[in-house]
Amino acid sequence: MSGQKLWAVVAGVGPGTGACVARRFAKSYSIALLARNPANYEELVKEINSSGGKAIGISTDCSDANAVKAAFEQIKKEDGFDGNLAAAVYNVGGQFVRKPFMDLTEDEFSIGWKANGLGGFHFSRAVLPLLLETEKAGPQHPPTLVFTSATAAMRGGAMFASFATGKFAMRALSQSLAREFGPKGIHVVHAIIDGVIDIPRTKEWKFDAPDAKISPEAIAESYWHLHTQPRTSFTYEFDIRPYCEKW
């Protein structure tokens, strides 16, 4: 890894968590951004590249094995990439379906699973061999895989069958990977982000408290902190909530 920057991959980039995580990790790593819609990463790629960092964007549907494969083939061909992946953040949430159970179609019900379970599977299979390779090279921080999750990973609410089955599955996947790859030095984290995130789309959403929305920059700082934990001292599961959120 002679002098080359390490890389980080962020899947699921919108204006909130994904973008802020990318900006934060771009301070130390080259960044590959995956999103289905290029509009979600194009501006961010420019921003990072024009401010001294390095970023690429790849249009990818993470629930599609071939799409994920193709995306990582492209990453591997990048100048400066030779398997040196320092961190991977799976931030794909999927469309949020909230409906009476009897109104759900099979496709709607499966959205949660596809985005959070199956997509997490394809992403993990792509990044884990790279993270393991990086681990052997003795990186400054243990290679890290973070799953952005939600309270719905812990509680299946009425009308939430699609989202909750997906997030429960994501938590199962994260735990299973943490227990298999933790002993190999890979840091796998399940992060429950519980609340409305402060992004342009939620600007108009009013709450009693003026600062009731989660700061995506703060999420990014916490993800970075977790990434810097030595392997003697891994956090596997944690939550982030606004001070005024009921939980």
Closest approach, Cβ 102 to its own copies, in A, equals 7
Q: Cα 83 from chain centroid?
A: 19
Contact by Cβ (8 Å): 54, 22:
no
> Which CB sits closer to its own copies, 158 or 204?
158
Closest approach, Cβ 152 to its own copies, in A, equals 8
> Which CB sits closer to its own copies, 34 or 68?
68
> Which CB sits closer to its own copies, 56 or 92?
92
Closest approach, Cβ 125 to its own copies, in A, equals 7
Residue 154 CA to residue 194 CA, distance in Å, equals 11
How many C-beta neighbours within 10 Å does residue 246 have?
6
Closest approach, Cβ 119 to its own copies, in A, equals 11
> Which CB sits closer to its own copies, 77 or 246?
246
Residue 85 CA to residue 72 CA, distance in Å, equals 11
Residue 145 CA to residue 124 CA, distance in Å, equals 8
Single out the residue of 116, 92, 119 nearest to residue 164, CA to CA. Answer: 116
